[in-house]
Amino acid sequence: MANIGTVDFYIGVPSLPREDFESYSTQLFDEWELYVGQNLELNDYSLVLEVEEGSIKAKGKILATASVLYFGIAQYGSFISGLQTINNQVKAIGDYLAERASTPFDLSTVKPKLRKRGESLARLETLFAKVQSGKITVEMAMQEVESIFGIELEEAPEFVNYLRDSLEQTPVVPEQMELRLIDYNGDDLTIPDQRPQTPRAPQPKRSPPAVDQFRVEVWRETKNGKRNVKVTSL
């Protein structure tokens, strides 16, 4: 399976008792899962939510196979149209997860920090942009696709053929498609600000972590698979 979307968020709130923290994490997963089922047009996927306490630090991931992506993308007509549609659905799901994670807390005293990464979907979008701008060839793009999905492409010939055909039909028109700079992990890259920056004030030292802190992992390996929960002491 390929990672098609990751959201990281941090909420600076006091630690919760273990039972409350586990209940918070599993309920958050259940609400997120319900929203995914209603808003992500894929037949199958894997969901993973990892939440650490001592403040709330969490990561949500959605994974899907190339075969599932093929059917999800194909329903929207063209590959690039379907790809962008699915990617936008994943982004909205990330926003929802962060919103629901913040709901139980008083946001007048704390501002959640959110980071979303498009992962493999964003990297595929970038490959189309690079082919259209003439920066890379179709063959170079397909080599990058192999690095994204690995050996599972051997079990998804429809996806490979559909993607290759779509890349080959992409007209080479420099700068016609907006080119997003994406690193290996699917993160957006921006040009560094060259202006002089004001020195940052020294940050106060963090207090040592509390003795009892936990990580809750909740996941389903498939859409209709068993929900798993694991609690680990940190």
- Render each residue's pLDDT in the chain as its tens digit; 234 residues: 999 999 999 999 888 899 999 999 999 999 999 999 999 999 999 999 999 987 899 999 999 999 999 999 999 989 999 999 999 999 999 999 999 999 988 877 778 898 988 899 999 999 999 999 999 999 999 999 999 999 999 999 999 999 999 999 999 886 545 555 555 555 554 444 455 555 665 555 554 444 468 899 999 999 999 999 999 987
SS3 state of residue 195: coil
Q: Token pair of 78, please?
A: 């063209």
- What is the domain count for the chain? 1
pLDDT of the residue at 199: 60
* Domain assignment present for 204: no
Contact 123, 152 (CB under 8 A): no
Residues 6+ apart with CB under 8 A from 93: 5, 7, 32, 35, 36, 39, 40, 62
SS3 state of residue 112: coil
DSSP 73-91: HHTTSSHHHHHHHHHHHHH
Kind of pairing between the strands at 56-64 and 113-117? unpaired
* Domain assignment present for 198: no
* Domain assignment present for 73: yes
* Domain assignment present for 69: yes
- What pTM did the predictor assign? 0.81
Domain coverage including residue 170: 2-190+214-233
